[in-house]
Amino acid sequence: MAAPEVVDWHDAGSFTYGKSYSNPTADLHVREFLAAVPPRVTLSMAYLKQRHIVLWDPNGDSPRADWSVYKCLYAELDEDGDTYLLTAGKWYRIDRAFSRRVKSEVRKLVSPTPTLPDYAAGDSSETAYNARVAASDPQYALLDRKQILFGGGRSRFEFCDLLSTSREMVHVKRYGGSGPLSHLFAQGANAAQLWMTEPEFRKIVAKVLPPSHSIKNAANRPESDHYTLVYAIVSQSLKPIHESLPFFSCLTLKNAATSIRAVGLRVSLVKIQRQ
């Protein structure tokens, strides 16, 4: 189970399996939902569509989003040579050979480095996690929430959440459904494209960096393979991260990785274990 839409985790906290703020949970799991179903209720399609999951603000005072349980379910089923996907309340049929190729490409992105700290119970949001990591480890500069105005109008970009002295551009995101994760992967690809092709964008980024992470000659294009864009996914699952990603997110990640490499950056996928 996962939130079916892009969630602004800076303004969101816990989920509940119902419309009252009781027994909040940081992530959605089928086993937790089943435990919350009254004993005399018979599971049916109608019940899954009528029962709701609510996303609350960080303090649990007011709802931020509301979806049916059915819309939060994710499933992959193999049958008769095809893979069938249920995501955000819709079913899709995917050729199994194509599915295997996409997942194989994503598996190649998985990296043991950088090793990022676990997402602790005291981390109320991605913002809190990123701040804690940067405060405890001097190799990381905190760039989360530092919007880069570029391109005219109201165009705003986030270069990355954490920048390491090893030139790793880390984008941190709590696990979600296809929509939220696909948004993350596309966002990272856009930042990579701007970083490698737009001197003015690099100059703006350089101005918000601390002295420990300063960039000389920001107008010059970085040398190929000197930077790595890291997608760091926060998950409570014990599975490897590439086995947890929804298929459509895998497809978006595969395409994002292709475009990131095309402009000269390395790209990797790491998991942040949620305690």
In tens, the pLDDT along 102-129 reads: 999 999 999 999 999 999 988 888 899 9
pLDDT at 27: 79
pLDDT digits (tens, 9 = 90+) for 131-173: 999 999 999 999 998 888 887 655 678 899 999 999 999 999 9
Distance (Å, whole) CA 164 – CA 63: 36
Sign, CA dihedral 31-35-37-39, equals positive
Alpha helices for 115-214 (secondary structure H): 126-136, 178-197, 199-208
pLDDT at 148: 86
Nearest CA-CA partner of 48 in 60, 28, 34, 63: 34
> Exposed e or buried b for every residue in 200-231, given b needs 16+ CB within 10 A?
ebbebbeeebeeebebeebeeebeeeebbbbb
CA dist list (Å): 197 to 146, 193, 257: 20, 6, 16
Which residue stretches of the chain have pLDDT < 50? none
Distance (Å, whole) CA 153 – CA 210: 27
Q: Please, are residues 5 and 87 in contact by the beta-carbon 8 Å criterion? A: no
pLDDT at 153: 58
- Give residue limits of the domains in the chain: 9-72, 103-273
Distance (Å, whole) CA 21 – CA 48: 19
pLDDT at 154: 58
